[in-house]
Each structure stands twice: as C-alpha cells, then as structure tokens.
Amino acid sequence: MTTRRSRTAPAGLTREGIVDVAIRVADADGPTAVSMRRIAQELGVDPMSLYRHIGAKDGLLDLMTDTVVAGIERVEPGATWVETAREQMLAARRTMLRHPWTAEVVKARPIPTPAALRYVDTILGILRGGGLSLDLTHHALHVLGSRILGFGQNLFDEGADTPPEVAAARAAGLAHEMPWVAEMIVGSAHGGALGGCDDDAEFVFSLDLILEGLEHRRAAGR
C-alpha cells in the first residue's frame, strides 16, 4: 500500500528559499545541475513539495534569472548619458560574472522576465534622457543586444586558453590557405578559435565603440 503525499508544503519552505538554493547550485555546477531532485536534496524536502511554490523547472529558471537581474545595481547619473549607460552596463556585467550561467538561460528564454523588462526600461530611460530619438534608441537596443545585460556576443565560443605551442602549430597548418586567420592566431596573447582575448577588455572596447557611435549620431541629429 502506498501513502498519499501531503499537499501541504513543509513548514518554512518558501519560493525565495528555493530560488536562492537553485542559484547557489547553478553558480557551483551550471544550470544543467538544477533539477527538482537536486534542489529538494539541498533543502531536505520531498521533490513534489517544490512544485507548489515554483511549478516546473522552466518556471524555476525564470525565477532564478529574475532574481539575478533584479539584483543589478542601478548607478547614479553621470556627467553624460554615455557615462551613465557605460557604468550601468558594467554594473550588469559584474552581476553576470558572479552568476555566469545567467547569460545562457536568458538567451534560451523566448520571453523576457519581469525583472529583465524593468532593467531594459532603465536602459531606455538613460538613452532617451540623454537626447537620443526614439528611432535611434530603437537601433541602439539592437546594436547593443546582450551587452545591456553585461555579456558579449562572440562569433565563436573561445573556451579555455590554448597553449602557445598548440596555437603555433594550428597557425602553421592554416598559414598557406588562410594567412589572415593564422596571423590572428599567433598574434594573440591567449588561446581561442581565432585567437583569444581579455574578455573584460573586449567587452569594454565594444561597448565604448557602440556608445561613441550612438553619441556621434545623436549630436548630428541622425
């Protein structure tokens, strides 16, 4: 004979507590490690008791993402809209680097979470408050893309650094047919598909380039 499970969640079990544990699991082992069974084990409860609070796993991932994005610091206005936008997106990047799994989950979700929309509203306010037209602001959202949330858009997944001797061998094999790719591989200080990079430096470079271009267009009334 089986006993029917109680529909009452264990005392003290809350949505916020479940989400906090799930975020810690994802921070340690990545989003694929987040499962009802794993979270229940961490909390010392039956997996079925979690569904009362958060529904299915997709709902849990949304709540986790919402919690992380809601924690992005809102910066004080700078001397210019460019400075404010720059600092705001760097603040987002600091949060994303503490929870690197969030970028993968955000990109996989078809609809923005409420916190993500509120954050986008913050960015829109900075751009519009800085004098960008509605049309230029719309273009800005497209060109900035995921950078507004602090993560870049690399052409290839760079992965781990490649040892110099491996990079040199790879470049030598490509030099005849693809000389410019070979040059990029050996000319970079780090590994990667086309030569690696300092991710933070590349993020700041691309962000500055975009914001400077937008300011140029704003000043020109374009």
Structure tokens at 195: 């030569």
Q: What is the pLDDT of residue 197?
A: 61
Long-range contacts of 85-90 (CB under 8 A, 24+ apart): 85/123, 85/126, 85/127, 85/130, 85/211, 86/207, 86/208, 86/211, 88/122, 88/123, 88/126, 89/123, 89/144, 89/147, 89/148, 89/149, 89/150, 89/207, 90/150, 90/204, 90/207
Q: Look at 190 and 110; give whichever has higher pLDDT.
A: 110
The amino acid sitting at 31 is P
d(CA 56, CA 44): 19
pLDDT per residue as tens digits for the range 143-173: 999 999 998 876 455 555 666 777 777 778 7
pLDDT per residue as tens digits for the range 97-119: 999 999 888 888 878 889 999 99
Q: Let me know: does 10 contact 45? Beta carbons within 8 Å.
A: yes
* Best CA proximity match to 51, nearest among 33, 36, 61: 36
pLDDT mean over 52-79: 91
